[in-house]
């Protein structure tokens, strides 16, 4: 199948190895994949050829992935955008959806999970976990929301949470538990 017959997909992540592996896996599933390693590289690619699908990492060097989500949605509101992040939180998930993302996945996500997220987006369905959220993960999400509200300023976040700065840094160094 040639690229002209395939659905276009823009993959944006600053992890070069992850991009190579995911690009190959998505091409095997019938997508024509373009890769960028920053928002600044991705915007010209998207403007020249708005993709039907996009996979965008949330945190990269340079501009954050949410900037690209906004641009992609403005170029074509029908683009199905999956946001990937190693630091999943409710606050960033809500913000990503408000800006135009159709799904939000925590890393590590494989090609099958990403394709399934595109399918859920097409059906208007959201994946809902049958397992309750762990208390530690709720705390992590709350800390991430407050941190975001304070512009990622650790000291201001610690004051807002009435927590010692070093305690906050220790909690931030331990990502949430995936089960």
Q: Are residues 109 and 47 in the same domain?
A: yes
pLDDT at 149 over 70: yes
Place of tokens 């995936």: 178
Q: Are residues 145 and 107 in the same domain?
A: no
Exposure letters 99-113 (e unless 16+ CB within 10 A, then b): bbbbbbbbbebebee
Q: What is the pLDDT of residues 90-144, one digit of tens each?
A: 778 888 888 889 898 887 788 889 999 988 755 554 444 444 455 666 677 778 7
The number of folded domains in the chain is 2
Q: Provide the token pair at 79.
A: 């683009």
Can you give the pTM of this predicted structure? Answer: 0.68
Q: What is the pLDDT of residue 53?
A: 96
Who's near 49: CB < 8 A, 6+ residues apart? 8, 34
Structural domain range at position 159: 135-173
Q: Are residues 94 and 145 in the same domain?
A: no
Angle at 66 between CA 158 and CA 169, to 5 degrees: 20
Residue with the larger pLDDT of the pair 92 and 35: 35
Most confident option among 66-75, 86-95, 147-156:
66-75
Residue 105 lies in a domain: yes
């Amino acid at each position: 199948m040639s690229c002209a017959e395939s659905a276009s997909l823009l993959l944006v992540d600053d992890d070069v190895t992850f991009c190579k592996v995911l690009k190959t896996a998505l091409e095997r599933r019938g997508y024509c994949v373009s890769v960028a390693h920053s928002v600044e590289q991705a915007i010209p690619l998207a403007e020249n050829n708005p993709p039907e699908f996009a996979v965008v990492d949330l945190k990269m060097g340079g501009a954050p992935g949410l900037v690209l989500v906004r641009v992609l949605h403005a170029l074509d509101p029908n683009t199905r955008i999956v946001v990937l992040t190693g630091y999943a939180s409710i606050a960033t998930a809500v913000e990503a959806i408000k800006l135009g993302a159709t799904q939000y996945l925590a890393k590590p996500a494989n090609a099958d999970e990403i394709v399934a997220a595109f399918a859920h987006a097409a059906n208007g369905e959201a994946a809902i976990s049958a397992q309750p959220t762990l208390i530690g993960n709720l705390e992590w999400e709350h800390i991430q929301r407050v941190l975001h509200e304070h512009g990622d300023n650790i000291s201001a976040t610690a004051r807002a949470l009435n927590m010692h700065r070093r305690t906050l840094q220790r909690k931030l160094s331990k990502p949430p538990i995936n089960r």
